[in-house]
């Protein structure tokens, strides 16, 4: 059967049109360039950088927010939606902070580029700038995400602080993130805190033994017990990165700096969370931990940045999917 030249040309045009459509719908660096008369990423940076200087807690808060958002229905800012049964209300998200920071950035962007920039992209850009402001280096992020319209607490199923390495790896792998990248992403625990209530079982009744987790360095256990008395009703906070914070110091205090100190700590059995310490002991992950711990800080930052970009691409909405919210707290009125 003969095919006309015109038919071939038409088919080729259709293929090109379809390819262009797919390219438009994909994440890309500089997605907003040429779409607005201002530099969107500069607006974000100009707000986040000085804020982190005043409030260092913003960096771990936004790192946690991005992770909690991306691991439930993908990176669609569904964690930001208000509602009596929204993701915000789920137990793992009740301690998430930084919503007001995202609202501040979104409001500033809306003044210059109304209806253009998604809340999902704001979370990713703000997190990147917070990392940079915490001496963690700047990295390029992809943009072009759209915002989700569904947010349900029942969909929140996040790995907890005592999860095994194997189970944690399975959850990350299911999201398209390798076990190696999981190790780099958990390096986000180089900043931030946990509460005594989260680690008391490791200190006083590990696996119902009535004693301390044997994988915890005794000097660290002693120090943490001072911070977290067994019968105390006050739920104190504890730095996740214990560099230079207790009686036996390994390195300088770096709990407000994004660096590879966290890995050095867990190599010396100074991990605060169960999952953190397990990374340094498990056959699946210990080689990666040792490589990061004993390489340059730049090596870690490069790996961390790459892993954060991969996290930001998990199950995203693009093209005409979802919407661009006017307010990050609510879906648009139809």
Which positions are annotated as active-site residues? Answer: 68
SS3 146: strand
DSSP letter at 92 equals G
Distances, alpha carbon 251 to alpha carbons 26, 79, 263, in Å = 42, 36, 11
Range 253-270 burial, b when 16+ CB lie within 10 A, else e = ebbbbbbbbbbbbbbbbb
Cα separation, 214 vs 200, in Å, equals: 14
Query: How many of the other CB atoms lie within 10 Å of CB of 208?
Result: 7
Give the integer Cα–Cα distance in Å for 187 and 198. Answer: 19
Contact 306, 124 (CB under 8 A): no
Kindly state the DSSP code that residue 159 receives in the 8-state scheme. -
Helix (H, G, I), strand (E, B) or coil at 193: strand
* Residues 190 and 254: beta-carbon distance below 8 Å: yes
189 three-class SS: helix
Assess contact for 283 and 115: CB atoms under 8 A: no
């Amino acid at each position: 059967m003969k095919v006309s030249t015109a038919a071939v040309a038409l088919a080729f045009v259709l293929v090109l049109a379809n390819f262009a459509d797919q390219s438009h719908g994909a994440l890309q660096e500089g997605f907003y360039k040429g779409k607005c008369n201002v530099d969107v990423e500069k607006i974000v940076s100009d707000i986040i950088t000085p804020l982190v200087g005043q409030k260092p807690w913003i960096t771990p808060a936004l790192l946690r927010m991005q992770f909690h958002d991306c691991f439930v229905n993908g990176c669609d800012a569904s964690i930001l939606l208000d509602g009596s049964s929204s993701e915000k209300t789920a137990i793992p998200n009740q301690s998430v902070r930084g919503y007001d920071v995202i609202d501040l950035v979104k409001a500033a962007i809306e003044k210059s580029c109304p209806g253009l920039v998604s809340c999902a992209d704001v979370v990713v850009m703000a997190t990147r700038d917070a990392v940079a402001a915490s001496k963690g280096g700047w990295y390029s992020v992809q943009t072009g995400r759209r915002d989700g319209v569904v947010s349900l607490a029942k969909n929140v199923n996040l790995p907890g602080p005592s999860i095994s390495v194997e189970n944690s790896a399975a959850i990350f792998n299911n999201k398209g993130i390798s076990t190696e990248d999981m190790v780099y992403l958990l390096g986000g625990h180089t900043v931030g805190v946990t509460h005594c209530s989260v680690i008391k079982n490791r200190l006083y009744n590990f696996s119902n033994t009535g004693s301390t987790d044997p994988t915890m360095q005794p000097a660290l256990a002693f120090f943490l017990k001072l911070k977290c008395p067994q019968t105390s009703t006050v739920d104190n906070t504890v730095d996740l990165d214990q560099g230079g914070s207790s009686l036996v110091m390994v390195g300088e205090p770096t709990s407000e700096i994004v660096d590879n100190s966290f890995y050095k700590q867990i190599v010396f059995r100074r991990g605060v969370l169960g999952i953190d310490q397990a990374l340094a002991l498990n056959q699946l992950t210990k080689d990666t931990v040792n490589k990061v711990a004993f390489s340059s800080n730049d090596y870690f930052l490069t790996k961390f940045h790459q892993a954060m970009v991969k996290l930001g691409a998990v199950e995203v909405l693009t093209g005409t999917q979802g919407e661009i919210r006017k307010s990050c707290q609510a879906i648009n009125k139809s």
